[in-house]
Amino acid sequence: MFRRWGKRTGNVLALALLASMTVLGACGQSNDGGGSAASPSAGGTESASSGASASPEASSASGSNKLVLYSALNEDDVIQLKQKFKEDTGIEIEYLNLGSAGEASTRVQAEKDSPKADILVGGSVEFYQPLAEQGILEKYTSPNAGELDAKFNDPNGFWQGWYMGVLGIVLNKERFDKELAPKGVKEPATWDDLLDPAYKGLFITSNPATAGGGYIFVADQLFRLGEDKGWDYLKQLNANVHHYTPKAGDGINLTATGEFVAGMSWAHDIVKSAKQGYPIKVIVPQQTAYEIGGVGIVKGGANAENAKKFVDWLLTKEIGEMNTKMSNRYSVRKDVAPPEGMTPIENVNLVDYDRAKAAGMKADVVKKFTDMIGTK
């Protein structure tokens, strides 16, 4: 069942998240990669699934059979990973599903002096680099990382890429055919097509301050168009955006249920929802951007050895195939086939995305964007 986000709800949460970002940023390190997310007392929806802990406490016992995991993945994916990891290793995962990389990274920032988690998983690696710079992540390079392209491995060893995703447009076919096609509007094929005034109030996307996908989308426009033209594009698009949601997946939910005609989100999540029978389709525009989904070990966690085992396990071919099947994400392994229903990654027209630059400019870009959109 999709959770609906109204404009007021999204705006109130976004403002709370931004406030959290400001407080944390004042501690010395900017929160550009940590995102702006809810404070620990309010951050995320704690899992009520069997075996999950509402407020996980790490065990201090050596040889622990437990792993405390903070997740920015879809919860159904976390549940499957939890079950499979227990089968393969005997280690029980206690997880807190925070829903976005911004919320998850802010949570571990707030707990820096007394870590509760052992590992952080999901969300773009742009959110991991600032955590490493703040001394929050433990250095570890898996022996399995040697089988991957170097771009998926942190050269300093603080984070590890284990999947890929590309940004796409989600289109509600029923509403489009009923409302826009009769006006002569063609289905959007490029990011620029979304500037058509016909989409005014009918398009939804996510806030770059709180959603990894939202930030990568903004950076995509700056990289493909250049600084000045990129900001001009974002200002024009803002006129069509109904509101900005806290999480990238919210755009799929709201478009799939017919509240909006189009949205921006991760292509793999759009395909996953389409397979569930919703009247939506995915469009992957030229010059789209991609994420490298990360995992990182929290420094000072009580179950560090189990966290290392989890990283090693994630990078195996078997788990790469499992993740591709359950989530439609691309694997970082060359020996894992692309997800069913997804264009092979080598056939996707990708923007020249400078990941180091994107991470470095994030704080300034988010501030400028927030000032631009106001309370929208």
Question: In sequence order, what are the residues at sequence separation of 6 or more whose Cβ sits closer than 8 angstroms to the Cβ of residue 178?
Answer: none
- Confidence at residue 22, expressed as pLDDT on a 0 to 100 scale: 33
pLDDT above 70 for 103: yes
Q: What does pLDDT average to over the chain?
A: 85
One-letter amino acid of 169: I
Domain boundaries, the chain: 7-164+291-336, 166-289+363-373
Of 344, 328, 347, 195, give the one whose Cα is nearest residue 262.
195
CA 99, 103, 105, 110 torsion: positive or negative? negative
Could you tell me whether strands 203-206 and 262-266 are parallel, antiparallel, or unpaired per DSSP bridges?
parallel
3-state SS assignment for residue 122: strand
The CATH-assigned architecture of domain 7-164+291-336 is 3-Layer(aba) Sandwich (3.40)
Whether 166-289+363-373 and 7-164+291-336 are alike in CATH topology: the answer is: yes
- Confidence at residue 100, expressed as pLDDT on a 0 to 100 scale: 82
Token pair belonging to 311: 């990283």
Q: Does domain 166-289+363-373 have CATH number 3.40.190.10?
A: yes
Helices 7-25, 101-110: axis angle to 10 degrees equals 40
Report the pLDDT averaged over residues 245-266. Answer: 96
pLDDT above 60 for 45: no
Q: Which neighbouring-strand residues pair with 166?
A: 290
